[in-house]
Structure 1
């Protein structure tokens, strides 16, 4: 059995020196701790990958009870700023990717946000189109579909598992193209004029397969998305169903006032 990796606190950040507790404040003690931890993560004193000391040591250094420290840490876990990993401890995660809802591919959005997107191609093949697939693509009698499955990453960290069906003949990408470009970029390059999409967003827990592909724990929270995309003639050009790590990913929606 391998030895357990020690907890690491970055030497520039000492909780006993950095966190100030005011017992007389109306602000709850756990919130004082979580607020100051949050600030240290935001300004880079606790960078991505930093591991906090265990709860017992943190409680002792701050002269607080262990339940208080646990509640402070859990509030940041719930916000996606910290993650608990077996054998590693509590670790600072990267800032979430906040993606606007628009007709664009995840690859394009990640590049636009300044990240370095990457892909691992798991499936890229033609296969017979069953009745259910033909219905999704709104193409009765369709013979074959292009089936794609990829792991999308940003800066080397897995972010999403992407699944897509495309009617045969829309595009015929090789694996290198799928690694280097987004699906919508490939469609536009092939002369497809994207016009509109219908999209549903939900959530579920990670399966064993999800956990392995996304470096998460089984049962972790995942965001889900299904999207059907149409060109300017009303033809369905792709149907996708994807899962995203909820700890690293959010959707942004813009809301406007309706008729009064």
Structure 2
């Protein structure tokens, strides 16, 4: 068994080492991911009249780049400078320009980016489940609320932890992380931890610690932060059968 290359580095940004960032695009599978998303996020944002968008979980840039190329004014942030550096490289290689790129912590997002600056915030790639503390999740959503203009939209996603906890893990690998040749799955799964392992074709192995949020809990957190009209999608569609989808997307709005 290959040694885990980012073991014992905590629960959030420190897990994204320079080495893991170099492998990340193999996991994402850019072309397949964007093809399967089918401009879902662009359509949602355009239908809402969004122009200024903050991607607050940019990673190596797959959604931020796609949105910038679609004509949105994108501010790209991430908690990991290693991932953000790759996002800048990917944007340059694909002819996409960002309004700004910067390292930002969700809990102080409004201090970093400013209040009421964006028409939409996107937090994708199961990223929000890196937060293990209830108060931190609550405070992060309040900060996301504050950076939105009145009437603004938040799009946030997560793995389908409900089914994972209740029935066990399975995945079609058709959404979000679509790269070929990467073996992905939980090596530890319980109510308080989903430790995912990623083994790449050359044997390089990494792990990430996530908190297995249930969809109803996240909806309640959104409403507690002041968001209204929460809508849910399963693998980018609705209605959906919970046991049949890999990812849940929730769309919520700051009152106008």
Q: TM bucket by the smaller chain?
A: under 0.3
Q: 1 or 2, which has the higher helix percentage?
A: 2
What is the TM-score when the length of structure 2 is the normalising length?
0.26
What is the TM-score when the length of structure 1 is the normalising length?
0.26
Higher-Rg member (1/2): 1
